[in-house]
Copies of this chain bind each other. A is one copy, B any other.
């Protein structure tokens, strides 16, 4: 039901997803009148009386809308009817409800949101946390590193993905007090073979793909993500403006169109849609609210692949292994 466009985007994306994954089944959770038209032998509607709106306060979503589609979807995971839940709705509400319904794993104090950002190597760098936790301790940052490692193991098939600590310089003495202490903890975890710690990385390393995973607190991560989105919007707006300025530039745009399209496709953020909520006793994925059909189908695919590749078991194993340092 969620996102900027609701079922007009999510339902066609479901159809794409079902076609691409002949073993997969979908539970469509939401208002019956909105979803009832979707008929597929591997899809089933789970009717929900209420919907969490994008503008709802977390408290409202959590306490007053106990029969929301968001909550019901996460309850499907808790009760074993679904292996993962996907939503394009209100992020704060989704995190709060997921935490309330599923609970965090032993040893994890705070779940994190892990987002894949495209890098120049042609892959994606997993960045976490992206907004769930604004004030973090060094132990939270270590937990994020372990959670992110499990995610990359499940989705990229890398057993020992490299972890970078986002900082203002590459030397170990750089950074805020919390980040310096986090560096010490991560080095310790690395020596104990609990994870593969690369060292400090800087903001540009996210897009260089220096490490598989970049760990930071939710404040820094959110600012880095939004600043990058803002720059990308500006670049694309200016490019568009320049190519439509005159008759000549419009002609140039026609000639360059296939190249510009290839350029756009390579950096298309839609193909990386689907942030993982990690550290919970169940799988929940968050699609960008503005996702279109293609983007939402990618979020469904990521949730499917994560479940298929035992993300939850991988997270549990790694958390248990590293818990002595938490």
Contacts and interface: CB of A to CB of B under 8 A. Distances in A.
Interface string A245-278: 1001101110110111011001100000000000
Interface residues of A, number: 57
Nearest to A250: B259
Copies in the complex: 2
A207 interface: yes
A222 interface: yes
Nearest to A135: B176
A107 to B, nearest CB: 24
A237 interface: yes
A198 interface: no
B259 A223 contact: no
A223 B202 contact: yes
Q: Is the interface of A mostly helix, strand, loop or mixed?
A: helix
Interface string A107-148: 000000000001110000000000100110000000000000
Interface in A272-296: none
Given A134-B176, A235-B267, A267-B234, A223 B226 contact: no
A222 B168 contact: yes
Contact of A259 (B218, B229, B253, B263): B253
B120 A238 contact: yes
Contacts of A248: 258
A193 interface: no
Nearest to A118: B234
A187 interface: no
A118 B234 CA distance: 9
B237 A266 contact: no
